[in-house]
Structure 1
């Protein structure tokens, strides 16, 4: 039983909490104070034991509430300094109107519209899980031994040490067949796609095949560089090879390990068909391995590149495992393309930033990167489970797909315009993607929901809001 004395801190009164809801009550009170500016960035929260005593609750309630703020990126638990409020959205200057319009048109996943407090757009990772302590430890180790030459322009293909560590990691975890010199370090998968589009265009390829539904971002990236995209349908076993053949194109971009956005895995028979297709002539598969690290309920799926290294260009990054702001990714292309890609990379930016490359190499070498991934998988499984449970309760008619891996899921709905449905959900304060944004061929309506950026209690709330919004006529 709690007392009702309360605390001078934010005038919190446990008597206002619902039965068996103390942690949620305290967390929401802290969130509200942060949003209102009553807890400014840099404010140190009371010690957990002290606040628990003042409120007359168990210390575990306060510890869990603080941890939820940390998980959401609203606070930071600092050794020796307690829990400190982080910089939050209200403290960030708003861009000018024309810039906001451009961001909306690009549909950037990290640009949250006004009135939305739960961003479930796919592509937003768990930024609060960034391994700050491990990164600082690795950075100190790198700086203690880095030479002046290591910080120069260097090889535009990437820091040699990172390429060595990456190729070892990818051989072990993705069954890649490559050498260190085959790796081109780039500014995320997006730059890898841009470099490939430029090289293919220069070689006379005016169009490539893409999955449908498939990543709108990837499609927009390729088309920005003057290469047309031709949609090819997917089903529960992945890309359909028959329609691919019918396009008459020689290059296809796909996500075989975890198809975006359906979550399908390219089935063994379909893989064999695709590899047969690519070996019939001078053809190319571009494999976007965008979130292969996140796997919960199924066996690992090897990358296609290992089966046909001279026919597959493999793309990956740390955007979903560390943070997209790192802008660190890799491209392993057939050797016949590597010289042109290296020249395009050099012309683009002279090479990726040296220090982050060396720090990532250190994380890989020490095993800290793998330990971080194991921790993140546990967090993401709990978040996925909370969202699925909430959808089953509040939206029982929906078919939920793509739950065994990744950081998003797809809900297919009985009918309706999914753009209009997404707008109704947005009016309830939740941002999701209509499935039609990611397709050009006819198909059932649906919503694509990312779950990586929010803790389980917020995802349960999001599911309730979605269910309520879609149940209204």
Structure 2
């Protein structure tokens, strides 16, 4: 028989089986196999696929066969090509697309190595990572750290980082943090997971989330822990506190200093009302302070934790400020939850890597973190300004929001312009951009587009907006 399957190596992980006697083109068989693996969950969102040459060698086919299969799956939305030439499972692959190619009535996306411009959110410019300064901190740690710091430690992390974080957060973010309440974790993803586990064990039944908000982390983890998820609508200035009383929730996840994705900043009066709600209910507010250090047009907004340390868990991370690959996160936890959160952290992984914690403590203590932020603010601001200028020039009918901070901008679409149609038309022109719609929990709302600009040059931003303008003209013409 003419059947073959992958040998050992990266190709084997895809479990592709080819039948050369089936009369079906090989690239179609490869497409079908990868598509089925994505739909069955064997290939998760974000998973990297083998390079085309590697997979071709493993399957004993030409590289062109693999390229054609990958391109078709990119066109269907199952895969996404990234800068650098590698291919991943798309973050939101179509859950119900048919097993065959795109319908004949749909225009295919451009065939090629990837989008011309990618406005995807969540990517920090890691090329700017302060390698020399970080190396000095690592050297200092390896030279001066006592031996006992390399043994098993308290699951909360190393004392040096607890103190350095308190000094920084109290000075810059207005927290009321004490070292004994700090728990170090592997990024926000692990932090929210630990908190949800602890709250569920302590009897929590319902968690409230901003609507719209991230589809990852809290929403998925809460459902897995058996908690009901309730949506609280977001207005121009963040979560609508008038709707909070209807939530009947035991915990609330907020991004008050720069709401994700709309960019609203919760007012002082609204923050006070959230705290009153939490005290009345005995509820916990989980404050995700993901990118508040990057503010451009206004004074920094302090953290909510400083208003009610007994009811607010402050969550911070180095993912947006330094690099997500560091997997450094931290929580300032109300005293009555510290022991339980620490126990959950110990059970999860016995504690975060010590050298990284000590290096970050040194990095903070020597002022290198402040210097890095001062250096990066004008870089990101120039990119944001380039985006706003391009939108004013090419798409003045779009309404940008949340422009005062962060690494992304939301632009609201005018009535009658369909969000999904614009996103699809942009993709056909080689522009990757996401709409707000997939991040809504409770349903409909105004159409909007999310522009992540952190890793794009000013010229690429201008090119991307020009491509978007052409897509908008196509949608209106149709």
TM-score between both structures, scaled by the size of structure 2: 0.75
Distance 1:114 1:457, change over 3 A: same
Deviation by residue 1:431-465 (Cα, 9 ceiling, x = unmatched): 22210111133211111111101121111111111
User: Residue in 1 aligned with 2:14?
Assistant: none
Are 1:301 and 2:301 counterparts?
yes
Query: Could you tell me how far 1:216 is from its partner in structure 2?
Result: 1.9
Deviation by residue 1:21-68 (Cα, 9 ceiling, x = unmatched): xxxxxxxxxxxxxxxxxxxxxxxxxxxxxxxxxxxxxxxxxxxxxxxx
Name stretches of at least 5 consecutive residues in structure 1 with no aligned partner. 1-86, 107-112
User: Residue in 1 aligned with 2:37?
Assistant: none
Query: Could you tell me how far 1:195 is from its partner in structure 2?
Result: 0.5
In structure 1, C-alpha distance between the alignment counterparts of 2:318 and 2:260, rounded to whole Å? 17
Q: Which SS does the other structure have where 2:310 is aligned?
A: coil
In structure 2, C-alpha distance between the alignment counterparts of 1:430 and 1:223, rounded to whole Å? 33
User: Residue in 2 aligned with 1:466?
Assistant: 468
User: Residue in 2 aligned with 1:327?
Assistant: 327
Counterparts of 1:169-248 in structure 2, within 5 Å, are 169-218=168-217, 219-248=219-248
Name stretches of at least 5 consecutive residues in structure 2 with no aligned partner. 1-81, 96-111
Distance 1:403 1:220, change over 3 A: same
Are 1:445 and 2:447 counterparts?
yes
Are 1:421 and 2:422 counterparts?
yes
Q: Which aligned runs of 4 or more in structure 1 are off by greater than 3 angstroms?
A: 101-106
Distance 1:101 1:277, change over 3 A: closer
Q: Which SS does the other structure have where 2:300 is aligned?
A: coil
Whether the 8 Å CA contact 2:206–2:248 is kept in 1: the answer is no
User: How many residue pairs were aligned?
Assistant: 376
In structure 1, C-alpha distance between the alignment counterparts of 2:275 and 2:251, rounded to whole Å? 12
User: Residue in 2 aligned with 1:167?
Assistant: 166
Distance 1:137 1:88, change over 3 A: farther
TM-score between both structures, scaled by the size of structure 1: 0.76
Query: Could you tell me how far 1:184 is from its partner in structure 2?
Result: 0.2
User: Residue in 1 aligned with 2:135?
Assistant: 136
Query: Could you tell me how far 1:105 is from its partner in structure 2?
Result: 7.2
Q: Which one is further off, 303-312 or 431-440?
A: 431-440
Deviation by residue 1:387-407 (Cα, 9 ceiling, x = unmatched): 111111111110110100111
In structure 1, C-alpha distance between the alignment counterparts of 2:459 and 2:359, rounded to whole Å? 34
Whether the 8 Å CA contact 2:205–2:250 is kept in 1: the answer is no
User: Residue in 2 aligned with 1:13?
Assistant: none
Query: Could you tell me how far 1:359 is from its partner in structure 2?
Result: 0.9
Distance 1:241 1:102, change over 3 A: closer
Q: Which SS does the other structure have where 2:266 is aligned?
A: coil
In structure 1, C-alpha distance between the alignment counterparts of 2:92 and 2:264, rounded to whole Å? 30
Distance 1:276 1:390, change over 3 A: same
Q: Which one is further off, 257-266 or 458-467?
A: 458-467
Deviation by residue 1:203-247 (Cα, 9 ceiling, x = unmatched): 222221111112222423433433232111111122112211112
Q: Which one is further off, 416-425 or 209-218?
A: 416-425
Q: Which one is further off, 298-307 or 413-422?
A: 413-422
Are 1:153 and 2:155 counterparts?
no
Distance 1:162 1:103, change over 3 A: farther
Q: Which SS does the other structure have where 1:217 is aligned?
A: coil
Query: Could you tell me how far 1:156 is from its partner in structure 2?
Result: 1.3
Distance 1:221 1:418, change over 3 A: farther
Query: Could you tell me how far 1:118 is from its partner in structure 2?
Result: 2.3
Are 1:89 and 2:91 counterparts?
no
